[in-house]
Structure 1
Amino acid sequence: MASSVNETSEYAIEVNDVTMIFNMASESLTNLKEYFIKLIRRELFFKEFRALKNISFKVRRGEVVGLVGTNGSGKSTMLKIIAGVLEPSEGECVVRGNIAPLIELGAGFDPELTARENIYLNGSLLGYTKEFIDDNLEGIIEFAELQDFMDMPLKNFSSGMTARIAFAIATITEPDILIVDETLSVGDVFFQEKCERRIQRFIESGDVTVLFVSHSISQVERICQRAIWIEKGDLRMDGPVNEVCEAYRNQFN
């Protein structure tokens, strides 16, 4: 189970014996009709896939932690459980403070609405009031550097342009916990550097807890103090960022 509490503790995040199980069809089906026919006839069987297996760790307030591991190892699943997007099958995740989850930039946007309208829509989903967005609208637009496109429907935007807006909205105020999943791989190199500078500013404040996932191990080493290595659902290693990243690299040698 996942919960969010505000009680005083040195830990912003506590992951206690978390397991995540997905049920997957045991055979390949070509369409929904075939799926439902087999389901009704009870000819469809499922197999368990354990994306995470009894994972436990704690993150102190103000700590900057990177999650590393090969594709499909469970890193993003872990972040989604912490963000409250997924409920763990077993175990508990306790989160203390408000979260800015930069997991799927642009999720919840309406492509038929303009960029300006989507700022209000996405901001409300993040818990911002209309008054707060009114006060910070210019700052969001300025950071995104899309002043000339605010009244254009989002369906005409590239993924990089959408990411600019989503990142600007989610980070306009300093959160207690910042969750970043491959965000800095979206958009051009100048936007990536700008995002990293804003994240670095949060880190330097010492008040923001950061969980960071990137396929760039050098980026993890540059930004994080500590790293957690999750491989095929298992917690392989947890320790100082340089030690964990070196061990992770060595598996490919």
Structure 2
Amino acid sequence: MALIQLNSLTVDFPIYHLNARSIRKRFLRLTGGALRKETAHTVVVKALDNISFTLEHGDRVGLIGHNGAGKSTLLRVLAKIYEPTQGSIHIQGSVSPLLNVMLGINQESTGYENILVRGLLLGLGQKEIKAKMQEIADFTELGEYLSVPIRTYSAGMQLRLAFAVATCIKPDILLMDEMIEAGDAAFKIKAEARLAEFIEQSSIMVLASHSNETIQRLCNKVVLLEKGKLKYVGGLEEGLKFYSQVN
């Protein structure tokens, strides 16, 4: 059974030789944390501060908060890209972080070659990818274009390919930073149906989004962050109402 458990989790980013006040302020805006001076030439950004919550099977979590609140940092901790400075994190189940669907796409490689590489990055074995290759190819509707380099594709065609590969897996825990876009309008209905099925197959989903409509449509819980601190975790409607009051 999938599980995510955070206990007093804190993430600090030390910044060395950062003397210019304007640069400090800019970094603070980007991370959303609190600056703490440690030495004459070092400051620390507390990107996440004492975060504790538990997510279980069936939880569909909307991660909300202003830009720089710590949403992306938290997703990267859950994806094991960042390590906590303090506290602990316990995860049961396979984690699929779809934080950048274009990750691993090589402009000089063919569509088929990119499917293979992107699949490996998602944790699939070569046999698994080859077994899914035809289904992915059919879904993209790219036909013979899959045999030519990606650099010949339009932006919409590239997104079709990346989307099809990203949604071919069956994750226990799904992490998404905003909704996955699938390219042109003609492809949208088909892509939305595939995405809904993809999310349904996951045991736990955590979605960072600025869209209340998206959160209401896909989630049943809310986690609200503000300047790296946990302000709310619980029911969907209560969470969105609380956010609108403090927003």
- The aligned counterpart of 1:233 is 228
For 1:67-146, list aligned pairs within 5 A.
67-146=63-142
- The aligned counterpart of 1:38 is none
- The aligned counterpart of 2:45 is 49
- The aligned counterpart of 2:179 is 183
Structure 1: gaps spanning 5 or more residues: 1-8, 30-43
- The aligned counterpart of 2:19 is 26
Contact (CA 8 Å) 2:159, 2:181: kept in 1 or not?
no
Contact (CA 8 Å) 1:163, 1:186: kept in 2 or not?
yes
Secondary structure in 2 aligned to 1:183? coil
Alpha-carbon offset, residue 237 of structure 1: 0.7
Alpha-carbon offset, residue 160 of structure 1: 4.2
1:197 aligns with 2:193: yes
Contact (CA 8 Å) 2:110, 2:147: kept in 1 or not?
yes
Q: Which stretch has the larger CA shift, 67-76 or 86-95?
A: 86-95
Task: Give, in whole Å, the separation in 2 of the partners of 1:65 and 1:161.
Answer: 30
Q: Which stretch has the larger CA shift, 176-185 or 159-168?
A: 159-168
Distance 1:156 1:46, change over 3 A: farther
Q: Percent identity?
A: 36
Task: Give, in whole Å, the separation in 2 of the partners of 1:194 and 1:56.
Answer: 38
Task: Give, in whole Å, the separation in 2 of the partners of 1:182 and 1:49.
Answer: 24
TM-score (norm 1): 0.80
- The aligned counterpart of 2:4 is 13
Alpha-carbon offset, residue 220 of structure 1: 0.3
1:168 aligns with 2:164: yes
Task: Give, in whole Å, the separation in 1 of the partners of 2:173 and 2:57.
Answer: 8
- The one-letter amino acid paired with 2:213 is S
Secondary structure in 1 aligned to 2:147? coil
Q: Which stretch has the larger CA shift, 151-160 or 50-59?
A: 151-160
Distance 1:136 1:218, change over 3 A: same
Contact (CA 8 Å) 2:3, 2:91: kept in 1 or not?
yes
TM-score (norm 2): 0.82
CA offsets, 1:215-248, max 9 Å, x none? 1111101110001001110111111111111221
- How many residues are matched? 228
Structure 2: gaps spanning 5 or more residues: 24-39
Alpha-carbon offset, residue 117 of structure 1: 0.6
Aligned CA RMSD, in angstroms, stands at: 2.4
Task: Give, in whole Å, the separation in 1 of the partners of 2:200 and 2:120.
Answer: 28
Contact (CA 8 Å) 1:103, 1:183: kept in 2 or not?
no
Distance 1:119 1:17, change over 3 A: same
Secondary structure in 1 aligned to 2:109? coil
- The aligned counterpart of 2:35 is none
Secondary structure in 2 aligned to 1:88? coil
